[in-house]
Amino acid sequence: MFVLVKCQDSVVIQPCYFRDQDLPRTIRNEIRLKYTGKYINNVGLCITLHDISSIGDGYISSGEGYAQVKVVFRIIVFRPFEGELLQGQVIRSSEEGITVTLGFFDDIFVPSHMMLPNMIFRNEEGLWFWQYNAYELPIELGDRVRIRVEDIHFFGRVSRRPSNKQQETGVGFNDPPPMMITASFKDQGLGAIKWWDIDEPDTVQDLATDDSGAE
């Protein structure tokens, strides 16, 4: 789910830090400020700085008051691999599918064609149900779910922060996110964790036992 990515960048050091006795600390803070919580196209979501490999010599461009230092460093990036199993929480449900959050990442979508067999959407409740034998098991908002990553899409943008123009006009808020994950429930053990967890009531195993006992 998390990978280390090696980067190289020129870090800007403002004049007020020129006499700083702990330059590496200043550089770490600048890198965290620039990268943490940002998307890197075709790479993933940067979580935080991991370490600094090297710090080059600083230089001041003509007419500029700040220094630039070339730094090689590694960052921790969220980018799950295809086929990886993740656990999240349902935040939206519609006829098109289910949206899942990991807490720090909200753009995971399980489309309708990637549900378990015999799953249906009921408009009255606004929820998906799995028809298991004679039972209908719901996936409700807030439920914990287990999903499988099927695909990762990048849309070429580096940040989700809306511009001032977007804030004023509302234009652009429906644009695709910089990174989106398509996931599925199409396997045993996937879907609502309460269906499968032996510590939860009314699991599939319990219902199967009830059915066999009734016979």
pLDDT band at 161 (very low <50, low <70, confident <90, very high): very low
Most confident of 16-30, 56-70, 82-96: 82-96
Closest CA to 108 of 78, 129, 76: 78
d(CA 121, CA 41): 34
Q: Of 86-90, 126-130, 173-177, 208-212, which gets the smallest average pLDDT? A: 208-212
- Asked if 192 contacts 87 with a C-beta cutoff of 8 angstroms, the reply is no
Q: Which amino acid is at 209?
A: T
* CATH level 3 topology of 85-214: OB fold (Dihydrolipoamide Acetyltransferase, E2P) (2.40.50)
**Segments making up each domain of the chain, as ranges:** 2-78, 85-214
Q: What is the pTM of this model?
A: 0.79
| CATH class of the domain at 2-78 | alpha beta
Q: Can you give the pLDDT at residue 210?
A: 53
Determine the average pLDDT of the residues in 176-180.
89
- Give me the DSSP letters along 5-70: EEEEEEEEE-GGGTT-S-HHHHHHHHHHHHHTT-EETTTEEEEEEEEEEEEEEEE--TT-SSEEEE
Chain segment 99-150, per-residue pLDDT in tens: 999 999 999 999 999 999 999 999 999 999 999 888 899 999 999 999 999 9
